[in-house]
Amino acid sequence: MLKKIASYFFIVFGLAVLWASTSRTAMQYISDKRDGTKWWQTYPCLHGDLVSLSYLDFVTRFNPPPDLTSLKKPTGNSPHNTVLYLHGDSYTYHLPDSIFAGLNEFHLIDRNHGMNYHLDTTKRNILVLEVSERYLRTYYGGLQIFDELCDSIIKKKTIAASEENITPSYASIIPGFHVNDLFNKYINQNLQGNLFNYNFIIPMFETKAALNYYVFNRASGDVVISRDRNFLFLKETVSLTDIGSSYVPLTDADITWMVDNFNKIYDHYKENGFSEVYLSMIPNSATIMQPDGYNNLIPGIQQDKRLKIKIINVYNAFKNSPVTLYQPGDTHWNSKGRQLWLDLVNEKLINTN
């Protein structure tokens, strides 16, 4: 009897965890409630995303003192009627409009959520596409941006036109249901969080991390230690098979495909009324800090003579910088890297006619 009750309990528990780990809404609720330092809450991730992934908080070289340097105000102004649309990722989240050169309006667009816009044609509308190198081929290898960043008026017209040609069909058993609703690309990460990522378990992970680091000279999980042992890299950025890697082999056809897509993107948004469209590719930290064997993805795209989209050349600026621009225990840049990127963007805003 007890075995039967236990088996039913674990079946119900497993289904509940699976459902919660698949649901975006449930995971957001759980994350909000479990964000803290109590025993049942999640690992606080205080020292950088890579340090947290590998539980290497005890290695001081990966945990420098917090960088509290403020971003500098721009020294010049763009034309007074400039509107900036910044389509980016975690590198550019939470940037205030005050750090850009004299904007009339600023729209920060999270690539994961997109935006429906409608341009004021009396203003100078600038679109900057910021993307970190590891997402470059994953996201811009296709043209889904057209559905995620689109003119609201044109979108309404397109939807209305398509609805006129819909052929009536039998209703589905569950209206609005799609097979894709059963899947979540973060399912493994979510399952790990719901089953194992609790503060009272962390000492066990830290013990394993210390064993790997001091005995086997490597990091745990999805993190790799740099050759000079001064930086942590995300494993996918140094793999020889992952398309987000700085070292995965490339062909001329790969570059041609990307250039063709960026040309289509440039033509599309210019036709939609943007005064200029810029591409800002942020190199993987491995690309800059460990350049031997780099596949030259970013320069390959930038130097292609057929490329139409305008470039904010972060790669060359970072490559030639005399100072370190990345955090040692995080995938992101430090305050110097962020400031250098901001200076490059403001230069375009001020000087673009």
Q: Per-residue b/e over 197-211, b at no fewer than 16 CB within 10 Å?
A: bbbeebeebbeebee
Burial of 139 (0-12, 13-18, 19+ CB in 10 A): middle
> By mean pLDDT, which of 30-39, 218-227, 249-258 is the weakest?
30-39
DSSP 135-202: HHHHHHTS-THHHHEEEHHHHHHHHHHHHHTPPP-PPPSSTT--GGGG--TTHHHHHHHHHT--GGGH
C-beta of residue 85 within 8 angstroms of C-beta of residue 269: no
- Mean pLDDT, to the nearest integer, of 137-162? 79
Angle, helices 24-34 vs 2-22, to 10°: value is 100
pLDDT, position 162: 45
Please give the structure tokens belonging to residue 55.
Answer: 């539980």
State pLDDT tens for residues 74-103.
Answer: 888 888 899 999 999 999 998 999 999 999
Query: What is the number of H-type helices and E-type strands within the chain?
Result: 13, 9
- pLDDT-derived band at 273 (thresholds 50, 70, 90) equals very high
What are the b/e assignments for 329-338, b being 16+ CB within 10 Å? bbbbbbeebb
Is residue 282 within 8 A of residue 91, CB to CB? The reply is yes
The least confident of 9-23, 38-52, 236-250 is 38-52
Could you give the CA distance from residue 61 to residue 75 in angstroms, rounded to a whole number?
35
Give the confidence band of 183 by pLDDT, cuts at 50, 70, 90: low
pLDDT at position 274 is 97
Residue with tokens 């962020």: 338
Tokens coding 69? 């340097």
DSSP assignment of 11-68, as one string?
HHHHHHHHHHHH-HHHHHHHHHHHBSSSTTSB----S-HHHHHHT-TT-GGG-PPP--
Look at residue 256 and tell me whether its pLDDT is greater than 80.
yes
More confident residue, 321 or 6: 321
- The predicted-structure confidence for 204-222, as pLDDT tens digits, reads as follows 988 999 999 999 999 988 9
pLDDT at 166: 45
- Judge whether residue 175 has pLDDT over 70: no
* Domains of the chain, CATH where assigned: 82-162+240-351 (3.40.50)
For the four alpha carbons of 100, 131, 226 and 328, in that order, the dihedral sign comes to: positive
Q: What is the pLDDT of residues 301-343, one digit of tens each?
A: 999 999 999 999 999 999 999 999 999 999 999 999 999 999 9
**In degrees to the nearest 10, what's the CA dihedral of 17, 21, 22, 28?**
130
- Looking at the chain, the whole-number percentage of residues with pLDDT higher than 90 is 61
3-state secondary structure of 124: strand
User: Could you read off the pLDDT of 100-128 as tens digits, one per residue?
Assistant: 999 999 999 998 889 999 999 999 999 99
Residue-wise pLDDT for 31-59, tens only, equals 777 777 777 777 666 678 999 889 999 99
Q: What angle do CA 270, 307, 348 make, to 5 degrees?
A: 60
Of 163 and 247, more confident: 247
Among the ranges given (53-57, 133-137, 195-199), the one the predictor scored with the smallest mean pLDDT: 195-199
pLDDT higher than threshold 90 for residue 263: yes
* Residue-level pLDDT at 314: 98
* Average pLDDT score, the chain: 87
Examine the pLDDT at 179 and tell me if it is beyond 60: no
Q: What is the pLDDT of residue 28?
A: 78
For residues 207 and 284, what is the distance between their CA atoms, to the nearest angstrom? 29
Count Cβ atoms within 10 A of the Cβ of residue 310 and give its class: 0-12 exposed, 13-18 middle, 19 or more buried.
middle
Instruction: Name 50's bridge partners.
Output: none
Q: How far apart are CA 202 and CA 91, in angstroms?
A: 28
Q: What is the mean pLDDT of residues 250-268?
A: 98
Q: What is the pTM of this model?
A: 0.83
Structure confidence at residue 160 (pLDDT)? 45
